[in-house]
Amino acid sequence: MAARGYPPGPRRSILSTLVYRPGRDPLAFFTDLARRYGDLVHVRMGNEHAFLVNDPQHIREVLVTNQRNFKKGRALERSKRLLGEGLLTSEGATHLRHRRLLQPAFHKEAIASYGLVMTDYAARARDRWRDGQTIDVAQEMMRLTLAIVGKTLFDADVESQAPEVGAALSAVLESFWTLMLPFADLLERLPVPSLRRSRAARARLDAIIYGMIAERRKSPGNRGDLLSMLLETEDEDNGQRLTDVEVRDEAMTLFLAGHETTANALSWMWYLVGAAPEVERRLHEEVDRVLAGRLPTDADIPQLPYVEQVVAEAMRLYPPAWMIGRRVIAAQPLGDYILPANALVLLSPYVTQRDARFFPEPERFRPERWTAEFKAALPPFAYFPFGGGSRRCIGEPFAWMELMLVASTIAARSRLAIVPGQRVVPKPLMTLRLEPRLLATVHER
């Protein structure tokens, strides 16, 4: 029988009821909560009763078993300012309708056709680098993944717009914690510099997306990409097509989320590989043996198990979606407690995927842990970088193939030696970025 009251957690303070941001280091804050108070923790954040859930079975209950009693959390609610009613932020019938419309673009056959673009753009990126050149890996991965998502999903060459998109996206993300404040709606009406920059950045991103839509409207037809599908598909229930605003919302969601998260995953992977000589050696050895100097294809992926282990381990330590939020619709039993209606539920892949109960030596970068036996014994939702349930990331197969092909393409030709002495730290915004940058020296192989 569920207990009355709240699970254990830190004592309430005046500060905790006024401030929404969890301290200077949110990652350490939530990790400490889980380690100190257990698998279900109650914490006050502003005017919210929040519950951090760290038990895989409880995470499954929230994301899958009882998912209909939860809706999106505060972060996604605030994200509507940028993403509108896209797949990531919409609820109910709108979410189901749009997911049904988008699903064909992420079928296995469609994703396989994107592989050539992924490897071609990755090869073009690595071939631009000169032997001995120092690059900002994070910036290069952002540029690369933006080009890939632009071409594969929108049949558009947006690589030249990468600096503009990157600057705009950074300006939007920098306002993340400000927009989490309980009185953010009031702040947005005031001349707060960060929010003013965020509004201008959203306008620049809108101009890019609406520009692609307008250009395609002038020359309609199916080019086999997502944008064609969004513009041409009719709803099977009423025969209606998506409006420009609806197309914009979905395009913005996939355009930004599809490149931002993958770029972060790749950047963290190169950071970790660069600090692990034995991992780097094994990675190069496998791609050399399998590819023998040629570009990889999707057919090569099953023959690259160590590359897959490296990618999986990097996303364990630094999951791009570091926090998933849900809001309770009606009072919900969870473990020994009952979560009240409208409470905020926080699920952190970053925290759970560093739990020593599931991952021995959790702070170590050990790709070799990902054996078939280890994966079979791992509790479901001890590892969930793409979420779960009906809101599981629709682009997961796309992202996995992109990560595998880009990593293999670059590793086959280049070694990225991380410049010593720099301090690189995770920056938890809507995604888990690196701060301030990741410098590496390129060595041709």
pLDDT per residue over 106-145, tens digit each? 888 888 889 999 999 999 999 999 999 999 999 999 999 9
* Residue 45: pLDDT over 90: no
Q: What are the residue boundaries of the structural domains of the chain, listed by start?
A: 82-322+362-444
Give the list of residues 6+ apart from residue 11 with CB closer than 8 angstroms, or none. none
Cis peptide bond N-terminal to 22, omega within 30: no
* Residue 22: pLDDT over 80: no
378-410 exposure pattern, b = at least 16 Cβ within 10 A, e = fewer: eeebbbbbbbbeebebbbebbbbbbbbbbbbbb
Cβ contact 8:38 at 8 Å: yes
What is 82-322+362-444's CATH superfamily? Cytochrome P450 (1.10.630.10)
Interval 370-377 mean pLDDT: 97
Q: How confident is the model at residue 184 (pLDDT cuts 50, 70, 90)?
A: low
H-type alpha helices, 175-295:
176-179, 184-187, 193-218, 226-232, 244-274, 277-291
Q: What is the pLDDT of residue 53?
A: 98
Task: Tell me the CA end-to-end span of the chain in Å, nearest whole number.
Answer: 62
Task: Report the chain's mean pLDDT, rounded to a whole number.
Answer: 89
Interval 44-54 mean pLDDT: 87
322-364 pLDDT per residue, tens: 999 999 999 999 999 999 999 999 999 999 999 999 999 999 9
Tell me the CB-side half-sphere exposure of residue 326, using CA atoms within 13 A: 30
CA distance readout (Å), 238 to 82, 235, 241: 28, 6, 9
Q: What is the pLDDT of residue 186?
A: 66
Read off the pTM: 0.91
Tell me the CB-side half-sphere exposure of residue 371, using CA atoms within 13 A: 5
Cα separation, 316 vs 384, whole angstroms:
9
CB atoms within 10 A of CB 188: 16
Give the list of residues 6+ apart from residue 26 with CB closer than 8 angstroms, or none. 428
Cβ contact 146:122 at 8 Å: no
Percent over 70 (pLDDT), the chain? 91
Q: What is the pLDDT of residue 257?
A: 78
* Residue 237: pLDDT over 80: no
Cβ contact 268:353 at 8 Å: no
392-437 pLDDT per residue, tens: 988 899 999 999 999 999 999 999 999 999 999 999 988 999 999 9
- Within its chain, how far is the Cα of 8 from the centroid? 30
Cβ contact 72:89 at 8 Å: yes
* Residue 170: pLDDT over 90: no
79 or 57, which is more confident: 57
* Residue 15: pLDDT over 60: no
CB atoms within 10 A of CB 196: 14
* Residue 158: pLDDT over 80: yes
